[in-house]
Each structure stands twice: as C-alpha cells, then as structure tokens.
Structure 1
Amino acid sequence: MAVMEEQRVRGGGPAQWWRYGPPWWNRPDDDERPGHRWPWRSTVLFTAFVLVGSRFSARGQLHREPLDGYAYALLIVTCVLLLWRQRYPAFVAFGTATAALAYLAAGYPYGPVFLTVAVGCFGAVVAGRRWAAWGAVGMLWVGHLLLSLWLYRWLPPPGDGGATLNQEIVIATWVVAVVAVSELARIRREQWARERADRAQAARRRADEERLRIARELHDVLAHSISVINVQAGVGLALLDKDPEQARTALITIKAASKEALGEVRQVLDTLRAPGAAPRAPAPGLDRLPELVEQAAGAGLTVEVASEGEPPRLPPGADLAAFRIVQEALTNVVRHSGSRHARVHLGYGADTLRLRIDDDGPATGVDAGGSGNGLAGMRERAAALGGAIEAGPRPDGGFRVLAVLPLKAQ
C-alpha cells in the first residue's frame, strides 16, 4: 500500500508501520492538524436518533429478537465509531458495516442502524477513500444476502424465514442510493475546492500585476526625476564658484523636479493605501510632452518633437504608456548617451500609435544610479496593451527606441 511504502521509505520496521494503527488508516500528520475538531455534536445526535429509532422500530418487528444490553452495546459502538469518520474514514466505513452485520446476525430488528453505515460511507467517499466506501457497502450487502438467504436457519430468532426478492431489491437500491449521494457530494466538494483554488490564484495574479504596475510607475518617476536632479546637481557644483546665477538656475530645476517626483510618488502610494479609490490627479499622458521636453532641456538635452497624422483621443492606458516610454527613453539619453540632442517622432495611425525616439550617441556608459529596468519596463508596458518595443543601437551610431501601441482594446 502507498502508506506502508511511504513508511518503509521513511524508515522503521513493521512495528513502526503500525505505530499509528493499520497502514490503510490515514496518517496522523494528515488529520491531527491544528484546528481539527472531533464531530462530537453530530455523533451525539446520531447516537440518540439510532437508539430511540431502534426502540420504535422494534415495536413493529415482534418476530425479531428484543433489544437487550448486547443490542444497545452494538448500537453504541456503531455510533461511537463515527467520531473517527474524519480522521480514519476507511476504518469507520468498514467498522460501521461490520457492527451493523453483527447486529443483524444476532436477530435484532431492522432500523436506523443502517444510518451509521450511510454516514460512515459518506465520510469515506467525501474524504477520497472511495474504495473503502464501496467495499464497506458491498460487504454489508453480501453479508446480508448470506444472512437472509442461507444462515438464517441457524441464527436467531428461531423460526425466522428468509428474505424475499423484493426485500433484497430494496436493500440493494438503498446501498446504491447511499453511494450515489456520497459520490455527488464528493464531486461537488472537489468543484468547490477547484473554484477556491482558481479564485486564490486569480487574486495572486492580480496582486502580482498590481505590484508590477506600481514598480514600473515608481521606476519611471524616480529614474527620470533623479536623473534630472543628478545632472543639475553636477552643473550646480561645477558653477557654484564661477557662475552663481547659473548654479541658482540649476538648484531651481532640482527643486521643481523633486517636487514633481514627490507628487507622482505620493499619487502612487495613495493607490496603495486606498485600493480602488480614484486618483487625486489624472494620470500623465502625451499632453504633458512639452513639460517633459522642458525638463529634458533643464538637464541639458535638446529634444525635437515631430508628429505625423491626426492625433486621436487616446485611451488612458495607451496615453500613459506612451508618455512613460518617451520619458524613460529620454532619461536613458541623459544618463547613457554623449549626445545632447534627441528626436521624438509620433506617428498616429487608424489603430496604432508609433513612437520613435532617436539620439546620435555615442554611448558613454555613465550610470546615474539606475537599476537597469528601464527597457524591461517599457517592454512590459507595451506588452500589457498588446504592443511591442524594439530598442537597440542604430547602424550609423546612436540609439533608437521604437514602440508600436494599439489604440483599440485588446
């Protein structure tokens, strides 16, 4: 068996294999988990119902043996076994069926004793021990056939006749109904488990996507603003003694860039504190491109902007992605290129927006504290909209970023 094989692998001899009972029982580490509760209340209710119901059933079956101490002991044992139906479902299924057979073999009246077998087999099926449930009800039915068609001659009560075909059909129907209901409950329980797992996976996926979005936003905001601040701080330090007025201009640019960065970071953090709340300020878009060009000029970069086609009303997602891609591309020019001149071309089509950002290089390898995630972030933004990014050196030198963004919902 699988459990015995696992115990062999984990070590120990036969005594260890039976340490927690027969190997076909569930292992304690599967069942004795924190929060596990014994089904006391339901078991007490079943016991009361079986005992009282058996007394009423005995009144209409005077030809059977009257209930005595042995009968009540069998009924109580059968019910008490249900306490373990969650921990050891296979054992309880066979145990209740065996006790019920012993009760019937002693000639006691038919009655609610079968309920305990139904509950035990139901628990086994729901717990995934289908072979145990089918085996237990099969054993009960075959045992009852032997008792009612053959062994009744030598068993109490004296003079009892054999069962008729109709009685056996009723019992067989009862057995099939119990197993069928148990199987339906098992299937439904597995469906609920799959649905819960799917919901949990979807929630994790949404959380991962939100974290990625926030990481991209923070990277784009901080990388651009800190690059401008870094350049202007270098200019200010270089001109502090020679040209104080120019150094003052650099400090003013640093103040404006840091103020804008703080505002955008605060906006991103507000969405974290209040999920689902509307942002206090609209997300940036290409309408802020002149402001971006002005910031680049403050960092010593001249930017030419050209457009082709009639600008449509951009979807918010595409507008934000286009702005961030241009922003990141210009930030990379400031940080990694020796060129102080860049060109931004906007091509508006019927269904797509094409962005092209060029600089003449050469690459300087200067890194102003960047994380190296800029190109990856641009590709993720484009891919999220169903677009694509191409970025790399041009044959004639310099660097080009080409982005194609769809303008219709994917």
Structure 2
Amino acid sequence: MSHGHWWNVEEWRRPGPTAAQRRNDLWIGLAVVTLAVLNLFLSRSAGFLHSEDAPARAEQIAWAVGTTLPLVWRRRWPEAVALIMSALFIGAQFRGAQEQQVTSYALYAAIYTLGAWGPNRQRTRILRLAIIAAMFFWLTVAFVISFEEITSEEFTGASGELPALWSLIFNIYGINVMFFGSVYLVGDAAWNSAHRQHRLEVQAAELRAAQEAVAERAVIGERVRIARELHDVVAHHVSVMGIQASACRRALDKDPARARTALTAIEEGARTAVDELRRMLGALRASGATADAAGAGIDRIPEIADNARETGLTVHFAVYGDPVPLPDSVSQAAYRIVQEAVTNTLKHAHAGVLDIRVRYLSADVELDVTDDGRGGPPGAGGGMGLIGMRERVAVHDGVLEHGPLSGGGYRVRARLPYTPVLTTAGAPE
C-alpha cells in the first residue's frame, strides 16, 4: 500500500473483522435477540402492545427476532445489515408489533456499525443519510396517520406553558434528531479512530523497516571500513617487506651489508605492521569507534617517504605552505591516502623515482604523489586501494584525481577540505 493511498481518508479501506470479532458479533447478536424476545413478553404482559389491531404473538416474536438477528453479521456485511434492519424496523412499526426498546438500540448499533465499518466511505455516507431520511419520512407519515388519535389522547391533560401541538412535534422530532445525529457522528468517529490506528501501525512498520535498513547499512559500512583499514595497514608494510626481501635475496652473496640493511627494514616493517594492527583492533574492541581514532596522521608522511627510499627508490618529499593543525579525521585520511598511493607505486609501477608533495592551501590540504613507472593500479577501476582512497575523500567532500601522466608515470592527487582547528584562545590557527 503506497503512502498516498493509506493516508487518504476517503480512499482507505478498513480491513474486515477478525475471526475473534466475528465470534463476538455472533454471541452479542444472539444475546440481543434473546433480550428482545424477553422484553417483548414483558411489554405484552404490561399491556404496552395491546390494541385492537395487534398481530398474533407469533408474528410479534418474528418481528422482534428479525429486527435484531442481523446484528450477528453487522461487521461482516454492515451495509446489508443496516438496510435490512431499517426496513424491518419500519415494517414492525407499521404492523404495530414492534418491541420498542431493545430494537431501537439494535437499529442504533446497525447504523453505527455501517459508519464505523462501511467499506466505501462515499457509499456509506449516502446509505446512512438515506436510512435516516427514510426514518424521518416514516415518522412523519405515522404522525399524520395517527394525528387525531394522538391529539385526542395526549392533549387532554396538557398543562404546560408552551403550545401542546408544537411541543409534541418538537419532542418527537428533537429526540429523533439527537438519536440519528449521534449515531451518525459516533460511527464516523469510530472509523476515523480506526484509520488513525492503522496509520500509526503503518508508520511504525515503516520506521522499523527504516531502522533495520540503517542497521544493515551500518553493518556493511563497518565491514567496508574494517576491510579498508586492514588493507591500508597491511598492504603498505607487506609491499615494502616484499621489495626489501627481494633486494636481500639478490644482495645476500654479493653485498652482505646491503642484505643486512634490507633485513633490518623488513624487521622494522613487520613490527610496525603488527603495532598498527594491534592499535586498530584495540580501538575496535574498546568503544566501537573508527580505527582511525588511533591511526597515524599527516605528520608521519615523512616515514612513508623513508620506507620507500629503503626499497631503492629515489624519493622527493616536500611540504608547501604553512602547516596548520588539521582535524584528526582529515589528518589520518591524508596519511592513509599517501600511504596507499605509495603502496601502489611499489607494487605495480616498477618506478625509479617517486615524488610526494603536501600543499597547505587556504581551506584545503592537497596531497600529490607521482612516479615515473610504467604500471598502474590493477584492474579497470583500480583495486581495493583506490576504492579506499575514494571512500576517504568522499567522506570529507574532497576531490580525487588519478591516472597515467602523458610523459609516463602515474599520478594520484587528492584535495581534502578542512575547518581550521581552534586554539585555546578561540581563534583559528
């Protein structure tokens, strides 16, 4: 069901009665029939239904049963029940055989149920107005037919301050206006209450679905973030260790001193990778915060350059502009972006020269990593490293550019906007 459909009062269709509600209608309807027949005998015994034209007892019982028994199906077929009971109510009055008290409340219940459970609001409104109009028409006809009898009996002891005839008319019609007006309004109120309840249930279901979707997205985001962090932490150091191991193997016999230096670099790289993994996993266990909370920042980019030099690359590193304190998230993202760009160079570029530049602009920090290699990121769309860089840049509403250079080599350039960190005095540095 779409939003517009269930929200529109006129178009909404109230669901039919449940099995429990239908069972309740059955027992209540049978109880009302029993009460109507019992009250019929009480009325007969009290002389309320005595007249020269009064029908036989069996017919009176039949009218009492027929006028109340349809209540058994009042919520299943509210339109048919209201029409049948209204017609039988008038018929019983016409025959002079009606039990007045219980059947009046039964008619009230039938018209109320039509207003509260009618499947089509426009048709329900028309049917109720037609039934009420028919009742007033019959009331007028009955009043005209029995006018002489009523006035001769009722006006004999009239002693009030108002005219007797008009008092009688206002009494008869006023009571019926209140009777039918209240049943109409109460039926509408019950239907509107059911509609509001349904709307709340739909909104609650939509809210639960939205919460489940948010939770699912959060789980997926957490998995992606952990995968990105593991990739950033492990890939760089393992790549450096692989290159150093290769250099050690080649230099083991010819240049033991160089081989010893490479082994030392491998040892340091392994120790650093383990330390970063331990720090990241500790942050995850401690508070569920992002692993970046304990990660390296932009001030450690020179270490990346030093590690790259140890692999045999010629590395140029430079900082342009006046360094300013960056928000932790921006600083950590800058470190990871440079780290991944250098890792890609070591793994895929077969480069000899690497250039790393950090530029502090007025409201951005720019990271520029280029090499003179002949390779590039694996795959048409880049590997996990490029995906991680895109995600980090997107989080900070930054810009990422990457691709081969016209004269050979590869370039990764990222620009991250930042808000200056406030000093203790409250002014931005």
Q: Which runs of 5+ in 2 are unaligned?
A: 1-12, 50-59, 90-101, 151-171, 421-429
Aligned CA distance change for structure 1 residues 278 and 201 (closer, same or farther; 3 Å): closer
Report the Cα distance in structure 2 between the residues aligned to 1:374 and 1:280, rounded to whole angstroms: 16
Give the partner amino acid of 2:105.
G
Query: What does the per-residue CA deviation read over 1:358-393, in whole Å, with 9 as the maximum and x for residues that have no partner?
Result: 22x13146979x972323322321122011012223
**2:230 aligned to 218, 230, 233, which one?**
218
Report the Cα distance in structure 2 between the residues aligned to 1:121 and 1:270, rounded to whole angstroms: 64
Q: What are the residue-to-residue correspondences of 1:7-406 with 2, within 5 Å?
A: 40=20, 73-78=69-74, 92=76, 95-107=77-89, 108-111=102-105, 132-136=120-124, 138-147=126-135, 149-150=137-138, 164-243=176-255, 246-269=258-281, 276-277=288-289, 282-359=294-371, 361-364=372-375, 372-406=383-417
Report the Cα distance in structure 1 between the residues aligned to 2:214 and 2:361, rounded to whole angstroms: 35
Equivalent pair of 1:145/1:168 in contact (CA under 8 Å) = no
Aligned CA distance change for structure 1 residues 339 and 119 (closer, same or farther; 3 Å): farther
Aligned CA distance change for structure 1 residues 393 and 281 (closer, same or farther; 3 Å): closer
Report the Cα distance in structure 1 between the residues aligned to 2:360 and 2:185, rounded to whole angstroms: 73
Report the Cα distance in structure 2 between the residues aligned to 1:322 and 1:225, rounded to whole angstroms: 17
- Where 1:392 maps in the other structure, the secondary structure is strand
Equivalent pair of 1:354/1:405 in contact (CA under 8 Å) = yes
Equivalent pair of 1:100/1:114 in contact (CA under 8 Å) = no
Q: What is the identity percentage for the equivalent residue pairs of Structure 1 and Structure 2? A: 30
- Where 1:307 maps in the other structure, the secondary structure is strand
Aligned CA distance change for structure 1 residues 367 and 352 (closer, same or farther; 3 Å): closer
- Where 1:358 maps in the other structure, the secondary structure is strand
- Where 1:109 maps in the other structure, the secondary structure is helix
Equivalent pair of 1:141/1:171 in contact (CA under 8 Å) = no
Report the Cα distance in structure 1 between the residues aligned to 2:281 and 2:107, rounded to whole angstroms: 64
Report the Cα distance in structure 1 between the residues aligned to 2:325 and 2:29, rounded to whole angstroms: 74
Moved more, 159-168 or 322-331: 159-168
Equivalent pair of 2:284/2:291 in contact (CA under 8 Å) = no
Equivalent pair of 1:229/1:257 in contact (CA under 8 Å) = yes
Equivalent pair of 2:401/2:414 in contact (CA under 8 Å) = yes
Equivalent pair of 1:97/1:140 in contact (CA under 8 Å) = no
Give the partner amino acid of 1:221.
V
Residue in 2 aligned with 1:20?
A: none
Q: CA deviation at 1:306?
A: 1.3
Equivalent pair of 1:122/1:133 in contact (CA under 8 Å) = no
Q: CA deviation at 1:318?
A: 0.7
Report the Cα distance in structure 2 between the residues aligned to 1:112 and 1:285, rounded to whole angstroms: 80
Aligned length: 350
RMSD: 4.6
Residue in 2 aligned with 1:6?
A: none
- Using structure 2 for the length normalisation, give the TM-score: 0.64
Q: Which runs of 5+ in 1 are unaligned?
A: 1-24, 32-36, 82-91, 125-130
Aligned CA distance change for structure 1 residues 181 and 280 (closer, same or farther; 3 Å): closer
Equivalent pair of 2:116/2:188 in contact (CA under 8 Å) = no
- Where 2:294 maps in the other structure, the secondary structure is coil
Report the Cα distance in structure 2 between the residues aligned to 1:212 and 1:168, rounded to whole angstroms: 66
Give the partner amino acid of 1:398.
G
Give the partner amino acid of 1:250.
A
Larger radius of gyration: 2
Equivalent pair of 2:398/2:417 in contact (CA under 8 Å) = yes
Equivalent pair of 1:335/1:367 in contact (CA under 8 Å) = no
Equivalent pair of 1:356/1:402 in contact (CA under 8 Å) = yes
Aligned CA distance change for structure 1 residues 365 and 321 (closer, same or farther; 3 Å): closer
Report the Cα distance in structure 2 between the residues aligned to 1:116 and 1:212, rounded to whole angstroms: 61
Report the Cα distance in structure 2 between the residues aligned to 1:225 and 1:119, rounded to whole angstroms: 76
Equivalent pair of 1:101/1:143 in contact (CA under 8 Å) = yes
Query: What does the per-residue CA deviation read over 1:181-232, in whole Å, with 9 as the maximum and x for residues that have no partner?
Result: 3444444444444444444444444444433333322222232122112212
Equivalent pair of 1:104/1:110 in contact (CA under 8 Å) = no
Equivalent pair of 2:317/2:357 in contact (CA under 8 Å) = yes
Query: What does the per-residue CA deviation read over 1:154-197, in whole Å, with 9 as the maximum and x for residues that have no partner?
Result: 9xxx9999984554433433343334334444444444444444
Report the Cα distance in structure 1 between the residues aligned to 2:66 and 2:375, rounded to whole angstroms: 96
Equivalent pair of 2:344/2:377 in contact (CA under 8 Å) = no
Report the Cα distance in structure 1 between the residues aligned to 2:311 and 2:229, rounded to whole angstroms: 21
- Where 1:345 maps in the other structure, the secondary structure is strand
Higher helix share: 2
Report the Cα distance in structure 1 between the residues aligned to 2:262 and 2:114, rounded to whole angstroms: 81
Aligned CA distance change for structure 1 residues 232 and 247 (closer, same or farther; 3 Å): same
